[in-house]
């Protein structure tokens, strides 16, 4: 079975990353979600990635704050696409996590999205776009979602617009 794996560095990341899971539910995309840390449980992380690949994981989403090495640790253990979600935490409110996630060495890419909730949702959308490359039904759902978003903008505007 094809699915996307969501790995969060700590339980405190769940409140934001549940938005990622909700986006997958909206599109009917199977996912797994676990807590595993690049620093506190590196062997668990490596073991899980191997196991997830064997079960059919097509992409990995890794969310972590502060030093945020989780996405890099995942990228080091797989050739599947990895999307990093920097989490807002600590004194720098996620800017440190953003830099840690985005600054990967050449040849070890991590697609990096925005800090926090917008990043969690966009990580799901990016993974869905990857899956839609070989899934026409999912591609159609994405296209319908775009049309729906455009219609919502028009409806919202009609509620408040003033045009001379």
Domain CATH for 57: 3.40.50.1970
Structural domain includes residue 19: yes
Number of domains in the chain: 1
Q: What is the pTM of this model?
A: 0.94
Strands (E), the chain: 3-8, 31-35, 57-65, 82-87, 111-112
Structural domain includes residue 148: no
**In this structure, are residues 46 and 77 in contact, taking their beta carbons and an 8 Å threshold?**
yes
Give the pLDDT score at 66: 87
> How does DSSP classify residue 10?
S
Q: In whole angstroms, give the CA distance from residue 105 to residue 93.
A: 24
Confidence of residue 145 (pLDDT cuts 50, 70, 90): very high
Does 146 score more than 90 pLDDT?
yes
Give the pLDDT score at 155: 95
CA distances from 120 to 67, 81, 127 (A): 18, 16, 11
Is 100 annotated as a binding-site member? Answer: no
Using DSSP, state whether 67 is helix, strand or coil.
Answer: coil
Does 34 score more than 90 pLDDT?
yes
Give the pLDDT score at 44: 97
Structural domain includes residue 88: yes
The overall longest dimension of the chain from CA atoms, in Å, is 64
Does 142 score more than 90 pLDDT?
yes
- The 10s digit of each residue's pLDDT in 96-130 is 999 999 999 999 999 999 999 999 999 999 999 99
Q: In whole angstroms, give the CA distance from residue 60 to residue 48.
A: 11
pLDDT mean across residues, the chain: 95
Other Cβ atoms closer than 10 A to 11: 8
Give the pLDDT score at 27: 98
Is 40 annotated as a binding-site member? Answer: yes
- What domain range includes position 71? 3-134
Structural domain includes residue 112: yes
Is 136 annotated as a binding-site member? Answer: no
Does 15 score more than 90 pLDDT?
yes
């Amino acid at each position: 079975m094809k699915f996307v794996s969501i790995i969060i560095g700590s339980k405190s990341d769940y409140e934001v990353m549940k938005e990622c899971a909700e986006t997958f539910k909206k599109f009917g995309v199977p996912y797994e979600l676990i807590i595993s840390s690049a620093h506190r449980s590196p062997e668990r992380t490596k073991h899980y990635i191997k196991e997830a690949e064997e079960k059919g994981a097509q992409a990995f989403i890794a969310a972590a704050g502060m030093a945020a090495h989780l996405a890099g640790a995942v990228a080091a253990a797989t050739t599947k696409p990895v999307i990093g979600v920097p989490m807002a935490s600590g004194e720098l409110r996620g800017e440190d996590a953003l830099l840690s996630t985005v600054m990967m060495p050449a040849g070890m890419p991590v697609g990096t999205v925005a800090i926090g909730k917008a990043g969690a949702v966009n990580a799901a959308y990016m993974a869905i776009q990857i899956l839609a490359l070989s899934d026409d039904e999912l591609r159609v759902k994405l296209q319908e979602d775009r049309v729906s978003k455009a219609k919502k903008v028009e409806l919202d505007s009609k509620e408040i617009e003033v045009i001379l």
